[in-house]
């Protein structure tokens, strides 16, 4: 099962991808998480990506595409995987379709998590992330049991660098310009499924499971 998650920044792609990955025992591959892990480890890729990410711009395709194709070639992806944050431009999607075709494969589902712009800034300003295990919380909607502390591993939660309101607005603009066209791209491919991302996170998950098991 090869799944692509689409949706605006803060729509809940990562939140849902984590739950799907657990339920179906397939890896959750987030290009944003990969860049952030590289930055944390001080790699050259991480330092290059940081300039773009902090400005709310996209990291260039040449730093992104090969990385994903290498990742999906690993053994743990044999049963499938869920991609979160890739592809996010038409050239990335075309590259990915071709890379899959070369392996006689294709995307099975592109799930678009639909959340209007008005809700996004709210979601982002309340988001807190665990730097140790990657879990995501929201101060109001999905709070940890103890304020500021990760339920899974006890690490202190942090706010992402690119969640400042001015950067969020830029990320939204980039989303509308460069990523939203993928909705048409995957509709034409016949694999697009939309879900209402404004519902409670468990309801959104149930809607996605229904799609995957239909
Ligand atoms: P990336 O990390 O992918 O960020 P993004 O697409 O902007 O998406 P987010 O991670 O911000 O949001 P999300 O949809 O995962 O929402 P979440 O589940 O956290 O990319 C970051 C940067 O990396 C990019 O700007 C770019 O620079 C670079 N990059 C990455 N991939 C790239 C690529 N392919 N090409 C080029 N550049 C690339 O949820 C958000 C908040 O809402 C959380 O607090 C959560 O708890 C809460 N929440 C979730 N669901 C619900 C719900 N149903 N109700 C209420 N609250 C909810
Ligand atoms: Mg995410
Ligand atoms: Zn943690």
Catalytic site residue 13?
A: yes
Mean pLDDT over 149-173 rounds to 93
Question: Which residue, by CA, sits nearest to atom 50 of ligand 1?
Answer: 12
Distance CA 183, CA 38 (A): 29
The residue to mutate among 31, 38, 55, 92, having the most atoms of ligand 1 within 8 angstroms of its beta carbon, is 31
Nearest CA to 3 among 105, 116, 95? 105
- Of all protein residues, the one whose alpha carbon is nearest to atom 27 of ligand 1 is 53
**Stretch 155-176: mean pLDDT:** 93
CA distance 139 to 150: 12
CA of 170 to the centre of ligand 1 (A): 13
Question: Is 103 a residue of the active site?
Answer: no
Q: Is residue 163 in contact with ligand 1, taking CB distance under 6 Å?
A: no
pLDDT (average), residues 29-41 = 94
Per residue in 122-136, pLDDT tens?
Answer: 899 999 999 999 899
Residue 13 has pLDDT above 90, yes or no: yes
Q: At what angle do helices 31-40 and 44-55 cross, to 10 degrees?
A: 120
Sign of the torsion formed by the C-alpha atoms of 145, 149, 150 and 151: negative
Ligand 1 pocket check for 36: Cβ under 6 Å: no
State the closest ligand 1 atom to the C-alpha of 35, by its place in the atom list counted from 1. Answer: 23
- Local confidence band at 119 (pLDDT 50, 70, 90 cut-offs): very high
Check if the beta carbon of residue 82 is closer than 8 Å to that of residue 23. Answer: no
pLDDT band of 115, cuts 50, 70, 90:
very high
Which pTM value belongs to this model?
0.95
Catalytic annotation on 36?
no
Ligand 1: atom nearest CA of 113 is 14
**8 A C-beta contact, residue 152 and residue 146:** no
CATH number at 2-116+179-213: 3.40.50.300
Strand partners, 196: 114
How high is the pLDDT of residue 165?
85
At 194, list the tokens: 């939309």
Token match 């803060």: residue? 10
For residue 19, is pLDDT > 90?
A: yes
pLDDT at 152 over 90: yes
Ligand 1 pocket residue status of 142, Cβ below 6 Å: yes
Catalytic residue chosen out of the listed positions 13, 36, 128, 193:
13
Is 171 marked active-site?
Answer: yes
Residue 147 burial (CB count, 10 A): 10
**Alpha-carbon gap, residue 51 to 131, rounded angstroms:** 19
Question: What is the pLDDT averaged over residues 197-209?
Answer: 97
In degrees to the nearest 10, what's the CA dihedral of 156, 162, 163, 166? Answer: 150
Residue 12 pLDDT > 90, yes or no?
Answer: yes
Atom of ligand 1 nearest to the CA of 56: 25
Beta bridge partners of 127: 138
Is 106 considered catalytic here? no
CB–CB of 85/13 below 8 Å? yes
Task: Give yes or no for residue 43 having a pLDDT over 90.
Answer: yes
- Mean pLDDT, the chain, rounded, equals 95
Cα–chain center distance at 120? 15
Residue 85 per-residue DSSP state: S
The confidence score (pLDDT) of residue 16 equals: 97
pLDDT confidence bin for 114, thresholds 50/70/90:
very high
Confidence class for position 164, pLDDT limits 50, 70, 90: confident
pLDDT at 166 over 90: no
Residue among 6, 11, 59 at smallest CA distance from 181: 6
How remote is the CA of residue 61 from the centroid of ligand 2, in Å?
Answer: 18
Say if residues 85 and 32 touch (Cβ distance below 8 Å): yes
pLDDT confidence bin for 26, thresholds 50/70/90? very high
pLDDT at 62: 92
Confidence band of 214 (pLDDT split at 50, 70, 90): confident
pLDDT at 161: 87
């Amino acid at each position: 099962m090869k799944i692509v998650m689409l949706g605006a920044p803060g729509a809940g792609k990562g939140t849902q991808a984590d739950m799907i990955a657990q339920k179906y025992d397939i890896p959750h591959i987030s290009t944003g998480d990969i860049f952030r892990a590289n930055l944390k480890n001080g790699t050259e890729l991480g330092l290059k990506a940081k300039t773009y990410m902090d400005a709310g711009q996209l990291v260039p395709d040449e730093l992104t595409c090969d990385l994903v194709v290498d990742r999906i070639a690993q053994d743990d992806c044999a049963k499938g995987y869920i991609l979160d944050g890739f592809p996010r431009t038409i050239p990335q999607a075309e590259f990915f379709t071709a890379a899959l075709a070369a392996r006689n494969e294709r995307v099975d589902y592109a799930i678009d998590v639909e959340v209007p712009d008005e809700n996004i800034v709210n979601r982002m300003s309340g988001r807190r992330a665990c730097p140790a295990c990657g879990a995501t919380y929201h101060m109001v909607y999905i709070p940890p049991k103890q304020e500021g502390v990760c339920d899974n591993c006890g690490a202190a939660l942090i706010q992402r660098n690119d969640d400042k309101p001015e950067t969020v607005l830029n990320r939204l603009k980039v989303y509308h310009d460069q990523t939203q066209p993928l909705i048409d791209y995957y509709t034409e491919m016949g694999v697009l499924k939309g879900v209402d991302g404004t519902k409670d996170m468990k309801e959104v998950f149930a809607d996605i499971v229904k799609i995957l098991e239909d």
